[in-house]
């Protein structure tokens, strides 16, 4: 099984390829490492956001509650809001602006990055919107890195202003 075939089928192909006699481990390592590194970066992003929250509040319980609420907002509520916007306007949303709204959510960037890396064929849903906006893998990776760097710098700035 060639690498292009694996990338066309995505993660399911990697899982199937692990049990296939026609696939070598060397074909699976690259996509697997890319996925794991992006997942680690996404985790670091939420940890960085939690650091911003933690350095901003006094009580631990408030910090933990706010971090969970923000995580819930990014993971679930943001996409529901975008879908609600599409349904509410019956799809009459600025086609030039809408794809860039996806960059306001690190989980959407992660999703676009992973699906874009593994997909060779025509895409549907949010991915087709991102594809037509020319959000390439380097742009998405840079956006994900920016989502990590900005909260880290903000947390450092907030922490340095606090009196200990």
Q: What is the pLDDT of residues 117-161, one digit of tens each?
A: 776 556 555 556 666 667 788 989 999 999 999 999 999 999 999
pLDDT at 51: 92
Predicted model pTM: 0.76
Domains identified in the chain, total number: 1
Is 16 within a domain?
no
| Residue 62 resides in a domain | yes
pLDDT tens readout for residues 46-82: 999 999 999 999 888 888 899 889 988 888 898 888 8
pLDDT at 87 over 90: no
In a domain, 10, yes or no: no
- Cα–Cα–Cα angle for 143, 29, 15, rounded to 5 degrees: 95
pLDDT of 163 higher than 60: yes
Q: Which of 141, 140, 142, 122 is nearest to 132 (CA)?
A: 122
Length of the chain: 164
* Contact partners, residue 30, CB within 8 Å, separation at least 6: 3
- Whether residue 9 lies inside any domain: the answer is no
Q: Exposed, middle or buried by CB within 10 Å (0-12, 13-18, 19+), for 42?
A: buried
Instruction: Classify residue 49: in a domain, yes or no.
Output: yes
- Mean pLDDT along residues 87-96: 76
Residue 24 counted as domain residue: no
pLDDT class of 6 with cuts at 50, 70, 90 = very low
Query: In which domain, by residue range, is 135 found?
Result: 39-161
């Amino acid at each position: 099984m060639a690498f292009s075939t694996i990338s066309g089928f995505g993660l399911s192909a990697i899982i199937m390829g692990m049990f296939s006699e026609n696939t070598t481990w060397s074909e699976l390592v690259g996509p697997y490492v890319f996925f794991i590194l992006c997942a680690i970066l996404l985790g670091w992003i939420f940890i960085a956001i939690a650091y911003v929250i933690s350095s901003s509040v006094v009580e631990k319980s408030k910090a933990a509650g706010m971090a969970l609420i923000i995580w819930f907002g990014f993971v679930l509520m943001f996409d529901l809001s975008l879908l609600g916007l599409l349904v509410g306007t019956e799809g009459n949303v600025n086609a030039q602006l809408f794809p860039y709204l996806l960059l306001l959510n690190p989980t959407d960037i992660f999703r676009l990055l992973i699906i874009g890396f593994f997909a060779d064929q025509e895409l549907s849903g949010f991915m087709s919107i991102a594809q037509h906006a020319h959000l390439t893998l380097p742009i998405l990776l840079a956006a994900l890195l920016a989502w990590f760097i900005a909260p880290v710098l903000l947390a450092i700035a907030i922490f340095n202003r606090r009196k200990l």
